[in-house]
Structure 1
Amino acid sequence: MLVTTSSSEFSAPGPRYNRRGPVRWLWSHLRRHVLHLTGFLGGSLIMVVLNSAVPQLTGAAFDAVLGEQGEPASALWLIALTLLAIVSARGLFDLVARLSSEVLAKRLERDTRDELYVSLLGKSQTFHNRQRVGDLMARAANDIRQLSIMVTPGLDLIVDSGLTGLVPFFFIAAIDPRLLLVPCVFAVLFFLALWHYMRRLNPVATRMREQFGDLNAALNEAVRGIEVIKVTAQEGQERRRFRAHARRYRDSFVRNGLVQARYLPTLLFAFAMAGAMWHGLYLHGMGVLTLGDLVAFMGLMSMLGFPTQMSIFTFSLVQIGIASSRRILGVIGAEDELEQRADGHAAPITGEIVFDDVTFGYEEGDPVLRGVSFTVRPGETVAIVGETGSGKSTLTKLVPRIYDITSGRVLVDGVDVRDWDLDSLRSQISTIEQDIVLFSRSVAENIAFSLGQRADREAVVRAAEDAQAAEFVAELDEGYDTVIGERGVTLSGGQRQRLAIARALLTDPAILVLDDSTSAIDSATEDLIQQAIGRILDGRTTLLITHRLSQIRWADKVLLLRRGELVDCGTHDELIERSRLYRRIFAHYDEAGVGDGPVEGAGDGATGGAADGASGAADGADDGPVLAGEQGGRR
């Protein structure tokens, strides 16, 4: 059963994020959490400043011991107490910074996952038809997890590294500005190497995330189709296919490692330390620096080793995080074919449906429906009949605006469905399909899915009884509280369809669509269900896709589709009388044993129509009169 819901509620005003690029998007998420962002940045800055003061105090201690002044004990006591206070304060601010970064990372992960999920719920069915489920799952799970890792330890270490690479320059300048020569040369060479590294790492990281998405999609496809794989004995082929995806993912990881291996910042730092030592000794020899100044200078220079070492690891995490954010934005920012009006029409539906010269195709230039026009009056039951692939199910999906039409108009109660508020429109339409979608939740929750918390247990039980589902539900271990497997795999096809019918009965829709909804139910159960459905048809508009004569008799009229065109319309008896195509369809069902027996009123024409149709199908002359009394039917 498909009880459609609107995406308008998912596009309601909420946090506004800048989606003009992955970095801007990430920043727009982070800046929402001002307190934790301030704690993270402020705590990191104070911690690095305190760290940089330690070499200064160490140098002062050397000067106190080696100085000409006697009794350095008092100075050393002061330095020791100051160092103790600095180390204690550094630990406190480090704790603040680490806690803030952890909270920031988890909130970023939570917010982006929520944004992606809301976006997916709001996308049109056309969008979802084009996606690979496994790749979407990789983006929703692993890529979003990469954003959290990018913040901590990635961004956490980058901020520490950046501040550690910047703050010591001020302390070095305070000792003697001439000491900045070697650190500045090192900084320029380091940033050139880092820029080259990032430029080479970016495409590799992006490719790595894409390969992971392909790998996950292949795994998901194999798991979903495991029964077909086993029945056709294709385990070997699928294993080779999966290994090929795994090999490509492994190769992208190897390329990432090669890029990192060719980045040699430690070599630059070694030369910088040697140059700094030579320069410091030279100034000390000239009497410009004391020994304590030299010790402090080399201590500050050694602090630059931290950002040098961490850059290999942290910038790789950041590049992977940016690549992941780009993939997530690719889904969130994808154009949605369904434009929704904020002030859309919302009203109770009486049930009138009008198709006015409607053309629709899933792909541009390949129409599935062509120039379809008809009118369904409120409370009418209309059967839709046609050969496989004629567009029957597609036609019904245009009423709740699952897809947007290519041209023409679809009107509900005289209002174009594009002008309706999707919540209001879809909440009053229920569709029961042959392919039933159930969730891994309790039986009661599945029946009440379309109403959520508004459904009470009594209404759920009553709907199950009307759908002839109460008997088998009572036999389950926990009755209505029994959790069924994903997509209802623990139930038979007939049981799944009865739950779907119960779900539709509970919503009390103004428009009901039955798409071959009793195909998986035995004859005895079907008779009971048809009685239940027959009761709810009164007073509501129903579109009925079926090949069963017993159900077609419910219809006030029948629409006959052929290759996406509406070729005739009338009652069952009228079409049997005048349409060879209609007779041929029912003769085919009768021969296949899927109908309800010989078609009344067809006489020998049912068989004869099949023979005649076989010879006349090429020219289409068997389609009968076109739409007497209907709006602009296609000829």
Structure 2
Amino acid sequence: MSSISLPAEFTLHRKNSYNRATTLKWIVSHARPYWWIVIMIVIGAIGNAALAAYVPVLTGDAFNSMIESPPDTSVLLPLALIIGISQVIRGVLQLGRNFGAELMAQRMERDIRDELYLSLLGKSMTFHNLQPVGDTMARSTNDVREVNFMFNPGVNLVVGSFMFIIMLFFAAPRYHPSLLITPTIFTIIYFIGLARYLKSLAPITDEVRATFGDMNTHLSESLDGVEIMKGAAQEGAEVDRFVSNARKVRDAFVRQGDLEGRYIAMLLLGTAYAGGLVHALLLFRAGTIDLGAVVAYFGLLRLLEFPTFTSTWAYSQISSGLSSARRILELINRETHLDQNAVGRATEMRGEVEFRGVSFAYPYPEGDAVIQDVSFKIKQGQTVAIVGQTGAGKTSLARLINRTYDVTSGQVLIDGVDVREWNLAALRSQISIIEQDIFLFSRSLSDNIAFGKPGATKEEIISASIASQAHDFILDFDQTYGTVVGERGVTLSGGQRQRIALARAFLTDPRILVLDDSTSAIDSATEDKIQRAIANAARGRTTFIITHRLSQIRWADLIIVFRKGKIAAIGTHDELMKTSEAYSRIFRE
């Protein structure tokens, strides 16, 4: 391994950088690359509103022509043609506005989803251990989709409706300046009412998104633990819990609908119609304006229908989108306390490992240290067995080597260099940990084996499978290495999954190999073959074996006995059987 070029875990490459200071700045920074679409939307909205306002103006002119004595019908055809052509142009502009809004919404959804996915991949295991998967899925799917809807139809309709209000202020004064009174009063009350409405709506939409996340969390946990649930005959209790969560979501939506139903916009519109028409008729009676102006002005007042109708749900969509954006940004901004050290050491390891006064306590829940003042040194190429009772801290010890977690105090050194001074990608790419709970992706066996080395050839994959004793059972499948396993590898037995994991480790050729009770599900007939495979794999690399199997412990160069987070004894098997009561007790039990 001459060079390391893998992406570091916590700063995966992003095409764009975004301002994450506040939710609004974050959304704007996502929209900024598509400024040309914003211009398209605004031009389309202005053109659409202007041509919509042009129709009642022409209608008023036509009305005046018809009430003349004698009626001047010669203007009707030109006016009709102008109206027809203007509305065709309006339709094109409206199409452009809607297309631009949809294009922008879809692109922003893609960008936000990509940013969130990269952020999740870059989070530490502390984050993933504490963050419910169901809630993460809700934010990654439903919340991201809500941000899409915030832009289209939300922002799209709000921009369009705002232009309709503006056009009324441009067109009404052409008949009489005082005709601005009604639209001015309407606009003031409209935006005051809208501000109060949005202030009341925000916490409700936050609750809607939060309750949906809680419901999704319970659903995810129920599906993951369905075997345990069925084994304990607790289907009824889990259904009751889900129904309770679903009821909370429903209640939140009902509260949102109730607030939307009490919004005063429709009442305000009717009042504006009545007040504006009375005002125009009074001016007509005084001889200040003609009848055509009254007709045109009332037609212009009807432009207020669009902002009124859209405000009853478009602003609700924007509020939901903002709530979703806050939830997404909160997840992205969640701190990870593990520094990747991108400029750290990235050379090939020899495999010498040393623990110096290491203590460790999990960040959550806070409690006593699970590892306390541990010190030992392993030479390059040695095989070390770590034994101890359940809960002694053996797995926690292994997770400190590749910086799944960082030590609370002390140092873990590889080749004499603190692991925190290594480039994280370089460190982890040369350490392979195989745990008892094997995770396989819902992909082909070949892809699962080559997961750590995507460019591996078929010959390399087969060679690794033979070394892990997996080749023979893979050939028994109809599609051999092309066989797609079920989610988490459920279509394979425990022993088969572990042999696939061993093949994956052999293929990456790590300098340090950690086997965390990884052969517990292998039957006796296969165990001897696996032992030889592990022995071959251990040559030339440092190997840690966490196990209770005497057959694996005997041939270790060094055995470390763990008890309550401390080293109780250290030595060879024969030495410890004579000198360590804690070690000999493990085999008696």
TM-score (norm 2): 0.96
Q: Which residue of 1 aligns with 2:141?
A: 141
Shift of 1:568: 2.3
Q: Tell me which amino acid in the other structure corresponds to 1:528.
A: K
d(CA) in 2 for partners of 1:344, 1:74? 85
Q: Aligned pair count? A: 582
Shift of 1:10: 4.4
Deviations 1:362-405 (CA, angstroms, capped at 9, x unpaired): 13443111111111111111111111111101111111111122
Work out the percentage of aligned pairs sharing the same amino acid.
Answer: 48
Please show how residues 213-292 of structure 1 align to structure 2 within 5 Å. Answer: 213-292=213-292
d(CA) in 1 for partners of 2:10, 2:237? 44
Contact 1:387/1:585 (8 A) holds in 2: yes
Please show how residues 1-20 of structure 1 align to structure 2 within 5 Å. Answer: 7-8=8-9, 10-20=11-21
d(CA) in 2 for partners of 1:438, 1:286? 85
Matching of residue 501 in structure 1 with residue 502 in structure 2 = yes
The partner residue of 1:398 within 400, 408, 425 is 400
Change (3 A) 1:63 1:71: closer
Deviations 1:402-437 (CA, angstroms, capped at 9, x unpaired): 112211111122222222111111111111111000
d(CA) in 2 for partners of 1:137, 1:13? 21
Q: Which residue of 2 aligns with 1:611?
A: none
State the Cα RMSD in Å. Answer: 1.5
Shift of 1:121: 0.4
Q: Which residue of 2 aligns with 1:480?
A: 481
Shift of 1:78: 3.1
Q: Which residue of 2 aligns with 1:551?
A: 552
Matching of residue 510 in structure 1 with residue 511 in structure 2 = yes
Contact 2:215/2:245 (8 A) holds in 1: yes
Q: Which residue of 2 aligns with 1:40?
A: 41
Shift of 1:531: 0.8
Q: Tell me which amino acid in the other structure corresponds to 1:162.
A: F
Q: Tell me which amino acid in the other structure corresponds to 1:388.
A: T
Please show how residues 620-635 of structure 1 align to structure 2 within 5 Å. Answer: none
Unaligned stretches of 5+ residues in structure 2: 1-5
Q: Which residue of 2 aligns with 1:296?
A: 296
d(CA) in 2 for partners of 1:182, 1:71? 32
Contact 2:168/2:183 (8 A) holds in 1: no
Matching of residue 368 in structure 1 with residue 366 in structure 2 = no
Shift of 1:214: 0.8
Please show how residues 458-469 of structure 1 align to structure 2 within 5 Å. Answer: 458-469=459-470
Shift of 1:122: 0.3
d(CA) in 1 for partners of 2:578, 2:174? 103
Contact 1:7/1:123 (8 A) holds in 2: no
Q: Which residue of 2 aligns with 1:207?
A: 207
SS at match of 1:379: coil
Q: Which residue of 2 aligns with 1:23?
A: 24
Q: Which residue of 2 aligns with 1:528?
A: 529
d(CA) in 2 for partners of 1:193, 1:157? 18
Please identify, of 6-15 and 520-529, the stretch whose mean Cα deviation from structure 2 is larger.
6-15
Please identify, of 19-28 and 231-240, the stretch whose mean Cα deviation from structure 2 is larger.
19-28
Change (3 A) 1:237 1:6: farther
d(CA) in 2 for partners of 1:439, 1:246? 31
Q: Tell me which amino acid in the other structure corresponds to 1:61.
A: A
Please show how residues 564-575 of structure 1 align to structure 2 within 5 Å. Answer: 564-575=565-576
Shift of 1:470: 1.1
d(CA) in 1 for partners of 2:354, 2:174? 82
Shift of 1:167: 2.2
d(CA) in 2 for partners of 1:336, 1:54? 59
Which runs of structure 1 show a deviation greater than 4 angstroms over 4 or more consecutive aligned residues? none
SS at match of 2:443: coil
Q: Which residue of 1 aligns with 2:161?
A: 161
Contact 1:6/1:426 (8 A) holds in 2: no
TM-score (norm 1): 0.89
Contact 1:9/1:423 (8 A) holds in 2: no
Deviations 1:451-485 (CA, angstroms, capped at 9, x unpaired): 11x11111111111111111111111211111110
Please show how residues 70-81 of structure 1 align to structure 2 within 5 Å. Answer: 72-81=72-81
d(CA) in 2 for partners of 1:416, 1:168? 70
Q: Which residue of 1 aligns with 2:86?
A: 86
Q: Which residue of 1 aligns with 2:3?
A: none
Matching of residue 560 in structure 1 with residue 561 in structure 2 = yes
d(CA) in 1 for partners of 2:385, 2:57? 88
Deviations 1:104-130 (CA, angstroms, capped at 9, x unpaired): 111111111111110110000000000
Q: Which residue of 1 aligns with 2:382?
A: 380
Matching of residue 196 in structure 1 with residue 196 in structure 2 = yes
d(CA) in 1 for partners of 2:556, 2:72? 107
Contact 1:6/1:122 (8 A) holds in 2: no
SS at match of 2:145: helix
SS at match of 1:520: coil
d(CA) in 1 for partners of 2:57, 2:419? 74
d(CA) in 2 for partners of 1:440, 1:71? 79
d(CA) in 1 for partners of 2:470, 2:157? 59
Please identify, of 337-346 and 423-432, the stretch whose mean Cα deviation from structure 2 is larger.
337-346
Q: Which residue of 1 aligns with 2:114?
A: 114
